[in-house]
């Protein structure tokens, strides 16, 4: 009641003052000898505040600079719509279906014959050079024909220069006369700050060019599982199907990102969209234009995030970084002196806190670049200079190495069944000869502590808390002797990684 009374009183006082102000205003508008003699009296302040230039940038002198409408007019000719067509084949009917005379009468196709049909896709793109258009790989993937439509509704035929599925980028070249196409300047995506206003321009749902506005919600989004190399700008500007490949621009009208994906359960915009930053786009486009493919820098390590439990298990003092769990023989990392257990905290002076950040930094640095890694090794800070090379193609097995997946007994350690590395298991798991020992996980309960730690049947446990283990008793003894979470070094598919065995 007190709050209501105070509010009511404030309203009454406000109305009284407003009435008084109106009476004074009327009086001041009535000519009188006194007013004329003293000069014009200043007009009272408006009761409602005047509109503020929220949709315009204001320079240091307080004058309105370029408005959002001006930015859109300048940028729109550089954003195009892309339609792709590919010919797909499908079999007519199911087994035995076309043997039925009824279906044969209407379709006239023998069973199993393939019929061709055209599939069309819609997306967006951005002109970044003389007839050069950047879009998403998934917009033009496997396309037999690509057409580009500019803002003036003129259609161009485009050819594919190159694609990079690992980042979901593709580069097109316009074949026809292209005077109508204007290149959009690439901005520095590193300068974006959380809360900066951005515009998303594209062709959502094929309805035509559309502009939406939002802010930068987050930067450096990775490990989302969308593509191999992720460093996304997250924005709440409305992005929908068809916006893929379109432009994300800042308030200077510069391109800062290529709209790529949305996080949605319904398929429509829910305010979480992702764009590839221009600082990642630029080197990829340059590489595709000059070489027709993307050549990334390669370090040659297996890495994982430094989680708090893993940091305790390894006895590491730093709170953030990337743990080296394996080093490939003959790789740049091996030649440069990088060791297993090293924790990388920065690359070329820039901090790295996740595996995605480290992979992106190494990839963008490129071949023949000498990168400087700051790391911690057993409590000591170190700086290594490593010459990067091109990443080799490494095939990965689709299935886990064969192992006995029988459910273990309830009283077994961490819900696992363990066996020492025997010649038979060595052969089945293809363990390299330089690995002299270890303990194989041959059985694992799905809800056991071992499974929750990330262990799998077929894993070869090499160390626990940096102590080598060769028998199940070694594992049990070392695990029980650890005072906190125990870091287990595990070989899986020929490379090593860490898992953390927690204590209840």
Mean pLDDT (the chain) is 78
Out of 35-44, 157-166, 366-375, which region has the weakest mean confidence (pLDDT)?
35-44
For residue 250 the two structure tokens come to 């800042």
Which domains are present in the chain?
A: 189-291 (2.40.10.10), 298-390 (2.30.42.10), 413-501 (2.30.42.10)
Out of 92-96, 305-309, 333-337, which region has the weakest mean confidence (pLDDT)?
A: 92-96
pLDDT band, very low/low/confident/very high, at 17 (cuts 50, 70, 90): very low
User: Is the model more confident about 406 or about 172?
Assistant: 172
| pLDDT tens sequence across 175-196 | 776 667 889 999 999 999 999 9
- At residue 500's C-alpha, the angle toward residues 497 and 504, to 5°, is 165
N residues, the chain = 504
Q: Does the pLDDT value for residue 370 go beyond 50?
A: yes
The Cα 450–Cα 474 span in angstroms is: 16
Structural contact between residues 244 and 170, judged by C-beta atoms closer than 8 angstroms: no
Contact 72, 211 (CB under 8 A): yes
Query: Above 50 in pLDDT, residue 151?
Result: yes
Of 307-321, 388-402, 483-497, where does mean pLDDT reach its minimum?
Answer: 388-402
User: Containing H/E element for 288?
Assistant: helix 278-291
Query: Do 201 and 261 form a contact (C-beta atoms < 8 A)?
Result: no
Task: Tell which wins on pLDDT, 458 or 55.
Answer: 458
Residues carrying an active site annotation: 138, 168, 244
205 Rama class: left (phi>0) / alpha (psi -120 to 50) / beta:
left
282 contacts: CB under 8 Å, gap ≥ 6: 186
For residue 212, give the nearest of 149, 299, 289, 124 by alpha carbon. Answer: 124
**Overall average pLDDT of the 53-62 stretch:** 45
Separation between Cα atoms, residue 144 and residue 96, nearest integer Å: 32
Average pLDDT (36-40) is 36
Instruction: Taking each helix axis as running N to C, give the angle between helix 355-365 and helix 278-291, from 0 to 180 degrees, rounded to the nearest 10.
Output: 40
Q: Which of 150-154, 168-172, 252-256, 257-261 has the lowest average pLDDT?
A: 150-154
Look at residue 178 in the predicted model and tell me its pLDDT. Answer: 65
Predicted pLDDT at 502: 81
**For residue 70, what is the enclosing H or E element?**
helix 68-75
Residue 281 has pLDDT above 90, yes or no: yes
């Amino acid at each position: 009641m007190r709050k209501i009374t105070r509010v009511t009183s404030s309203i009454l006082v406000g109305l009284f003052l407003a009435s008084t102000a109106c009476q004074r205003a009327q009086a001041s508008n009535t000519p009188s000898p006194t007013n004329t003699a003293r000069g014009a009296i200043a007009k009272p302040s408006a009761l409602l505040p005047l509109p503020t230039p929220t949709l315009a940038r204001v320079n240091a002198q307080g004058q309105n600079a370029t408005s959002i409408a001006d930015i859109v007019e300048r940028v729109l000719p550089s954003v195009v719509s892309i339609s792709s067509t590919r010919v797909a084949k499908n079999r007519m009917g199911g087994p035995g279906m076309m043997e039925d005379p009824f279906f044969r009468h209407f379709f006239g196709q023998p069973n199993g014959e393939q019929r061709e049909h055209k599939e069309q896709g819609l997306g967006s793109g951005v002109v970044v050079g003389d007839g050069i258009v950047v879009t998403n790989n998934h917009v033009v993937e496997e396309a037999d024909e690509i057409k580009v439509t500019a803002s003036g509704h003129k259609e161009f035929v485009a050819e594919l220069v190159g694609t990079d599925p690992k980042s979901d980028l593709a580069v097109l070249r316009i074949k026809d006369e292209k005077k109508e196409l204007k290149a959009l300047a690439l901005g520095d995506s590193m300068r974006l700050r959380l809360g900066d206003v951005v515009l998303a321009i594209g062709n959502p749902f094929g309805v035509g060019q559309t502009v939406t506005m939002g802010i930068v919600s987050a930067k450096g989004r990775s490990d989302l599982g969308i593509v191999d190399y992720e460093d996304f700008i997250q924005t709440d500007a409305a992005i929908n199907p068809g916006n893929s490949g379109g432009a994300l621009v800042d308030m200077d009208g510069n391109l800062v990102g290529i709209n790529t994906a949305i996080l949605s359960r319904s398929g429509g915009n829910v305010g979480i969209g992702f764009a590839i930053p221009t600082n990642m786009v630029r080197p990829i486009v340059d590489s595709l234009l000059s070489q027709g493919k993307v050549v990334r820098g390669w370090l040659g390590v297996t890495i994982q995030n430094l989680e708090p439990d893993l940091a305790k298990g390894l006895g590491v003092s730093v709170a953030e970084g990337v743990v080296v769990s394996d080093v490939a023989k003959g790789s740049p990392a091996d030649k440069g002196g990088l060791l297993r257990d090293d924790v990388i905290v920065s690359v070329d002076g820039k901090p790295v806190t996740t595996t995605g950040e480290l992979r992106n930094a190494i990839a963008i640095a490129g071949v023949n670049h000498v990168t400087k890694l700051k790391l911690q090794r057993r409590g000591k800070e170190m700086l290594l200079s490593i010459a990067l090379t091109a990443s080799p193609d490494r095939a990965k097995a689709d299935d886990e190495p064969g192992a006995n997946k029988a459910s273990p007994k309830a009283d077994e350690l961490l819900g696992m069944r363990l066996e020492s590395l025997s010649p038979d298991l060595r052969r089945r798991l293809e363990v390299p000869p330089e690995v002299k020992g270890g303990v194989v996980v041959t059985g694992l309960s799905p809800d056991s502590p071992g499974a929750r730690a990330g262990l799998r049947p077929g894993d070869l446990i090499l160390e626990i808390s940096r102590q080598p283990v060769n028998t199940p008793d070694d594992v049990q003894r070392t695990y029980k002797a650890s005072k906190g979470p125990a870091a287990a070094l595990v070989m899986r598919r020929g490379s090593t990684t860490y898992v953390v065995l927690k204590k209840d």
